[in-house]
Amino acid sequence: MDIKDVTVPVTRELETFRKRYREALKSDNTLIDKVMRYILRQQGKQVRPLLVMLGAKVCGGVGDSSYRAAIMVELLHSATLVHDDVVDGAEMRRGLASINALWKNKIAVLIGDYMLSKGLLFSLDHNDYRSLHMVSDAVRRMSEGEILQIQKTRSLDITEEDYLQVISDKTASLLSTSCAMGGASATDDETRIAALKEYGEYLGLAFQIRDDLLDYTGDSRKTGKQLGIDIQDKKITLPLIYALRHSEPREQKRIRSILKSSRKRAMKSGEVMEFVRRSGGLEYARDVAEGFADRAAATLDVFDDSESRRALHLLIDFVMKRQN
């Protein structure tokens, strides 16, 4: 399955979005305009604008407010990626040099700030106050999720509940917001808007767990990242959390001693991965992801059968089967 299968009901709308998004990124400042054009080259699958379009279409149709919502969401998402690369010291983004690698951290931080403010002003200029409220809440959640992850990783005491809170805030919040903004741009039916918000939340949880599983099972040629890199970066995800919780105290102590040392993590990440496989962590994480996927599918029951609703179901399948 390819993401293009999901985009079929909104192919023309996504093309219109891309044209409007390119226009929104333009700047009279030559350096900003140069960086914006480079960011367009880094664009990925643009799942969030896709969710806005499908959310709008399943609720009636795509209009100007839908396009504005999609632009706002993509501006915010791109801004967070630029900032994330600075925080992580990342030198690559989707096969290209990161903004901070090319223009250094100061410019990268300012570009992220610029895109965030551009998105907020864009909504204010068009009186899209509900969209602005939704996006602002997503920014708050994303920040809180990042801080909670840093806090828990330092002490290595992250529980499954902590992990789910982190990925809910860091990943699912913006997918959920994208769906709800799309629905709100096309209908006043709060039941439908709430269903789309739940759909995005569960989809985001399933997506992130699947992404974390790829660190153990993925093909590095497809994922673009080395297997075990999460462990080397001291990123504690659900498979490892489960394995630690269900191991003997002596084994727990041994694995934790590896995780505490950057040198040991670099040398023994394969040993930790084998521990997780042996302890059933991968199977458990897959089951949890499947549970969230099923809950995402159930939220779509409030909508009549349509090409857009079928596309939202297809997106769940894509998330659960993706290999990169």
Q: What is the pLDDT of residue 224?
A: 54
| Angstrom distance (rounded) from CA 186 to CA 192 | 10
Q: Which two tokens stand for residue 322?
A: 């993706």
Q: What is the residue-averaged pLDDT of the chain?
A: 93
Average pLDDT on 11-24 reads: 96
Q: Which two tokens stand for residue 234?
A: 């001291």
Considering the entire predicted model, what is its pTM? 0.94
Q: Phi first, then psi: what are they for 190, rounded to 5°?
A: -65, -30
pLDDT of 220 > 60? The answer is no
Instruction: State CA 284 to chain mean position distance.
Output: 22
Write the CB contacts of 170 (distance below 8 Å, at least 6 apart in sequence).
141, 142, 145, 146, 149, 208
Of the candidates 95, 69, 50, the one whose C-alpha atom is nearest the C-alpha of residue 308 is 50
Q: What is the pLDDT of residues 128-180, one digit of tens each?
A: 999 999 999 999 999 999 999 999 888 888 999 999 999 999 999 999 999 99
Residue in the block written with tokens 């799309």? 182
pLDDT of 305 > 90? The answer is yes
Length of the chain: 324
pLDDT of 38 > 80? The answer is yes
Q: What is the pLDDT of residues 106-124, one digit of tens each?
A: 999 999 999 999 998 989 9
Q: How many helices (H) and strands (E) does the chain have?
A: 17, 2
Of the candidates 208, 142, 143, 131, the one whose C-alpha atom is nearest the C-alpha of residue 174 is 142
Q: What is the pLDDT of residues 78-106, one digit of tens each?
A: 999 999 999 888 898 888 999 999 999 99
b/e sequence 46-58, b meaning 16+ C-beta within 10 Å? bbbbbbbbbbbbb
